[in-house]
Amino acid sequence: MLRFSNFLFPEAATPDLDGQVIRESLAEARLCDELGVEVLWLAEHHFDGNCAYVDPVTFAGAVAAATTRIKIGFAVAQVSLHHPVRLAEQMALLDQLSEGRLIVGLGRGTAYNVYEYQGYGIDWREAGPRYAEAEEIMLRAWTSPEGFKHKGQFWDLSVHGLRPACYTRPHPVVLRAASSEEGALHLARRGLPFMMNVQSLAVTQQRLAAYRAALGAAGHTEARIAQCMDESWVWRNVVVTETDAEAERIAVPAFEAMQEHRRGLRDRIYAEQGIRMVQEKAPPARVQVEHALVYGSPATVAARMAEIEKTGVGGVICAFRLGPMQAEVANASIRLFMTGVAPHFQGARPAVAAAAE
C-alpha cells in the first residue's frame, strides 16, 4: 500500500520571519511524529528564504532530539556544496542521534538557482561531477573503518577512519534524486530506488514504467525490482480541508504565491547577469496547479492518491505548507490527511529499508 511523508519546505518571505518559521517548522515535525507520518523530508536552499532553516543537517539534529519515531530524510542534501567527508561525518552523527531513523537523500544541488553555487564559490557547471565524486567518497567513508585514500578531480584525501561510525550498518539508507528520465534509468541500471520531482500523472506513469523495465533489462531479480519500486518516492504539494471549495480557496493562491517567490531571486539574477541554468520552453509541471497540486476534501485527495498508487511507486512526498500559508492552516491539513486520507491506504508496506549498493 502507498506510504506518505511530509516535505518540510517552509518559506520565510522576509528575513524578520526566519526565526518564527523555523520554530513553527520544528513544531510541525513534532506534530508529524505524533500523527504517525512515516518520514519528514528536509530541503536545502540558500540565500532566498525559500527554505527558512537553510541547513538541513543542523535542523535534522533538532528534529532528531524533538521526535521519537518519525524517519528523518533529506530531499535532498545539495552534495556539490559540501565537503564529502564532512557530510559523511555529519550524517553518521545524525544516524547515531536518531538511532537509525536517517534517510540520506543525495542530489547534485539545485538545477535552477545559480546564486546558490555563486554564494559558495562553486562553478554550477561542476555540480554533476562534484556530486558523483562526493557520493563515492561518502560511501567509502562509511564502509572503510581502517581509512582510505582518494585522489580525484576535486578532492585529494587521506582519511584515517570515520568517527563516529554509523548506527545503521553498513550505513544509513541512501536515496538519490533523479529530476530527469535519464537519471531515473541510470539508477535503474544500478538497481537503486529514487526520488522523483513533481511531474504530471502521465509523466509519472510513463517514467515509472520505463524505470521498472530498465531494472528488468539490467538483469535485476523480480524481488529487487519490487524493492526498488517500493522504496521510490514521488513529490506532490497537498492541501486537505473539509470541502473541495475550501481547499481550492486556500491551496491555489498559496501555491501560486510560492511559485512567484521561488522565481524572484532567480529572475533578478538573470536580469543582472544573463545567467539561467535551465531554458524551459514551456512551464514545467512543478509550477502548474493541475499537475503539482493535490487539493480537496479527504475523499477527493484520497482519489488522487489512488491514481498515484496505481503507478506502483512506494510513497508520496507531500509538501503541506505552501508559500505564505500560515502554520495552523498547514497543521490542520496534515491532521485531516492523516485521519481522513492515509487510513484508506494502510496495510502491507514495510518501512523503508536500506538500499543495496
* Distance (Å, whole) CA 185 – CA 348: 27
Confidence at residue 226, expressed as pLDDT on a 0 to 100 scale: 98
CATH class of this structure's domain 3-345: alpha beta
Q: What percent of the chain is modeled with pLDDT above 70?
A: 97
DSSP secondary structure code for residue 53 in this structure: T
| Residue matched to cell numbers 521561488 | 262
Position 186 pLDDT exceeds 50: yes
Confidence at residue 353, expressed as pLDDT on a 0 to 100 scale: 40
> For residue 280, what pLDDT band results from cuts at 50, 70 and 90?
confident
Q: Beta partners for 157?
A: 150
Cα-Cα end-to-end distance for the chain: 25
Q: What percent of the chain is modeled with pLDDT above 90?
A: 95
DSSP secondary structure code for residue 6 in this structure: E
Question: DSSP letter string over 127-154?
Answer: HHHHHHHHHHHHHHHHH-TT-EEEE-SS
Q: In terms of DSSP H, where are the helices of 16-83?
A: 18-35, 56-66
pLDDT digits (tens, 9 = 90+) for 69-80: 999 999 999 999
pLDDT digits (tens, 9 = 90+) for 148-176: 999 999 999 999 999 999 999 999 999 99
Confidence at residue 355, expressed as pLDDT on a 0 to 100 scale: 39
Give how far Cα 33 sits from Cα of 28, 55, 71, 196, 334, Å.
Answer: 9, 21, 9, 24, 11
Q: How many Cα atoms occupy the beta-carbon half-sphere of 124 within 13 Å?
A: 15
Give how far Cα 74 sits from Cα of 84, 146, 226, 328, Å.
Answer: 15, 28, 23, 24
Give how far Cα 213 sits from Cα of 169, 207, 354, Å.
Answer: 30, 10, 22
Neighbour count for residue 237 (Cβ, 10 Å)? 25
* Distance (Å, whole) CA 251 – CA 240: 9
Q: Which of 55, 41, 9 is nearest to 330 (CA)?
A: 9
- Angle between helical axes of 327-340 and 18-35 (0-180°, round to 10): 10
Question: DSSP letter string over 197-235?
Answer: -S--HHHHHHHHHHHHHHHHHTT--HHHHHHHHHT-EEE
Confidence at residue 347, expressed as pLDDT on a 0 to 100 scale: 60
Buried/exposed code over 186-217 (b: 16+ C-beta within 10 A; e: otherwise): ebbebbbbbbbbbbebeebbebbeebbebbee
Percent helix, strand, coil in the chain (nearest 5)?
Answer: 50, 15, 35
Confidence at residue 331, expressed as pLDDT on a 0 to 100 scale: 98
Q: Where are the domains of the chain?
A: 3-345
Which backbone phi and psi does 55 adopt, to 5 degrees? -105, 105
pLDDT digits (tens, 9 = 90+) for 105-127: 999 999 999 999 999 999 999 99
Position 8 pLDDT exceeds 80: yes
Q: What angle do CA 74, 80, 82 make, to 5 degrees?
A: 75
Length of the chain: 357
> For residue 281, what pLDDT band results from cuts at 50, 70 and 90?
confident
> For residue 346, what pLDDT band results from cuts at 50, 70 and 90?
confident
Q: Which of 149, 139, 144, 150 is nearest to 163 (CA)?
A: 144
